[in-house]
Amino acid sequence: MIPVGPAVEGLLRELAPQALGALVRRYGHFDVAEDAVQEALLVAADRWTADGVPDGPRSWLIRVASRRMIDQLRSDQARREREVTATTRVPADQLLAPAADTAADTIAGHEDDSLTLLFLCCHPALSRPAQVALTLRAVGGLTTTEIARAFLVPEATMAQRVSRAKQRIKASGIPFRTPPPAERTERLDAVLQVLYLIFNEGYTSSSGPALHRVELSAEAIRLTRMLHRLLPEEREAAGLLALMVLTDARRDARTGPDGGLVPMAEQDRSRWDRSAIAEGVELVTRAMSGGPAGPYRLQAAIAAVHGEAERAEDTDWPQILALYTLLARLTDSPVVALNRAVAAAMTHGPDAGLALLRRLEADGRIAEHHRLYAVRAHLLELAGEREAAAEQYRAAARRTTSPPEQRYLAARASRLARGSG
């Protein structure tokens, strides 16, 4: 296959879910449609790179995928007719009517089905790992190999996960349609959670040698932009996009020349992407203007306060504490409580933060998590208890599965131990 340039690759990634959604809406058969689109993408990658992008690339891609899908369905129908003796048979041409070109032209002229496809991939009948895998495969256009590599699992394992998800959709008879209003909020929450999970796994990898995997966080931002474009009135979707953009703006400053982790307070803020911060601030400002803020808008507002501080000492910690207090009322997340403790320490002193941390020690969801130990170490260090802080840093390093975080936490412990010796 001819190497694909970034322009063609980006266009194909954008068009893939539109083509898949169009075929699934017209013919059903999610798994067959997905295979047909993948084949069409390979053809397009070769031809468009060699001959240029055709006029109406979306229609072109849908037409090629539709023909391949119809050929496959006819082949499957013929095989079933050979295997089963039936008194009444439905001819494949009737099953697939109208003809391939006519059907392709009809569905190509329809609206963008990407949103419906996203809702389908995040259907509550699927487990969360299946939702993530299927979203990246069907909506994101990533190959099974790319998804497996991103989540550091064997390709066969990821292939089984994607296959089971498609089989579950087929067996359950889930209709390809945008959820009715009564279901939409619940389903949208699932979509936002899946996109948030993908971004977080890319921004701070839970395992593996790198601190972040750019391809995952970038894909999460791209998909959330698409969601915001399709649902501009959904303020939490706008809030999630703002949160991602603002957080990703700091990515280049999170690592030093050796690839080591650099905490926010020590980052070179000249390396922050100020244009991205401006975009994120504008997004969250508009999103916060209507009605009580939800969790993504509040987190985006917190990220905006950080982003607007040109120096660490300029950070408006009282405002961040107030936002975390509002967020804590909306969610029972121990991570939110942990971050609120940091904001309290920065506002009222380390003892205030340590007092809030003690409330989390009985919470089984985070009691043995490395983040609790790392935050406790940081606050003890601020309080001048260097020896106790070093021990907590070492405990945190033992509990994290991220090598960059392990190195950072161990280095902090060693520095404090040397200083107190």
Counting Cβ atoms within 10 Å, is residue 74 exposed (0-12), middle (13-18) or buried (19+)?
A: middle
- Which residues lie across from 255 on neighbouring strands? 261
Q: What are phi and psi of 268, to 5 degrees?
A: -80, 105
Instruction: Show the DSSP H helices in 249-294 as ranges.
Output: 274-287
Interior CA angle at 67 toward 62 and 72, to 5°?
A: 125
179 and 326: one domain? yes
Q: Give pLDDT, residue 234.
A: 92
145 and 40: one domain? no
What tens-digit pLDDT sequence spans the chain (421 residues)?
Answer: 456 677 888 888 888 888 999 998 888 888 889 889 989 999 999 999 888 999 999 999 999 999 999 988 888 788 777 766 544 554 544 444 444 444 444 444 445 788 888 888 888 888 888 898 888 888 887 788 878 877 768 899 999 999 999 888 888 888 888 788 778 888 898 899 889 888 887 776 554 545 456 777 888 898 899 899 988 999 999 999 999 999 999 999 998 887 788 999 999 999 999 999 999 999 999 999 877 889 999 999 999 999 999 999 999 999 999 999 999 999 988 999 999 999 999 999 999 999 999 999 989 888 999 999 999 999 999 999 999 999 999 999 999 888 888 999 999 999 998 875 4
Give residues with Cβ within 8 angstroms of 317, minimum separation 6.
343, 346, 347
The count of residues in the chain is 421
Buried b (16+ CB within 10 A) or exposed e, 161-181: bbebbbebbeeeebebebbee
pLDDT per residue over 327-341, tens digit each? Answer: 999 998 899 999 999
284 and 306: one domain? yes
Q: How many structural domains does the chain have?
A: 3
19 and 123: one domain? no
**Alpha-carbon span 244 to 63, nearest angstrom:** 35
Counting Cβ atoms within 10 Å, is residue 211 exposed (0-12), middle (13-18) or buried (19+)?
A: buried
54 and 127: one domain? no
**Alpha-carbon span 328 to 336, nearest angstrom:** 6
Three-state DSSP class for residue 261: strand
The last residue of one of the domains, among 334, 350, 382, is: 334
Does the predicted TM-score (pTM) go above 0.75? yes
239 and 356: one domain? no
Instruction: Kindly state whether residue 33 falls inside one of the protein's structural domains.
Output: yes
Three-state DSSP class for residue 255: strand
Q: Give pLDDT, residue 397.
A: 95
287 and 192: one domain? yes
The last residue of one of the domains, among 316, 334, 352, is: 334
Evaluate whether 253 touches 269 at the Cβ level (below 8 Å): yes
345 and 298: one domain? no
Evaluate whether 227 touches 115 at the Cβ level (below 8 Å): yes
239 and 282: one domain? yes
Residue in this structure with the two tokens 């590599």, named with its chain if needed: 149
Task: List C-alpha distances in Å: 175 to 34, 179, 190, 371.
Answer: 16, 9, 17, 42
Residue in this structure with the two tokens 């229609």, named with its chain if needed: 59
282 and 340: one domain? no
Query: Could you give the count of Cα atoms lying within 13 Å of 207 in the half-sphere of its Cβ?
Result: 7
Instruction: Kindly state whether residue 1 falls inside one of the protein's structural domains.
Output: no
pLDDT per residue over 78-88, tens digit each? Answer: 877 776 654 45
305 and 349: one domain? no
Q: Give pLDDT, residue 390.
A: 96
Task: List C-alpha distances in Å: 353 to 23, 64, 311.
Answer: 54, 60, 22
Range of the domain at 103: 6-111
251 and 311: one domain? yes
- Centroid of chain to Cα 251: 16
The last residue of one of the domains, among 95, 111, 127, is: 111
Evaluate whether 106 touches 64 at the Cβ level (below 8 Å): no
Dihedral through CA 81, CA 83, CA 85, CA 88, nearest 10? Answer: -20
Evaluate whether 118 touches 34 at the Cβ level (below 8 Å): no
**Alpha-carbon span 44 to 29, nearest angstrom:** 22
Q: How many helices (H) and strands (E) does the chain have?
A: 20, 0
Q: Give pLDDT, residue 125.
A: 87
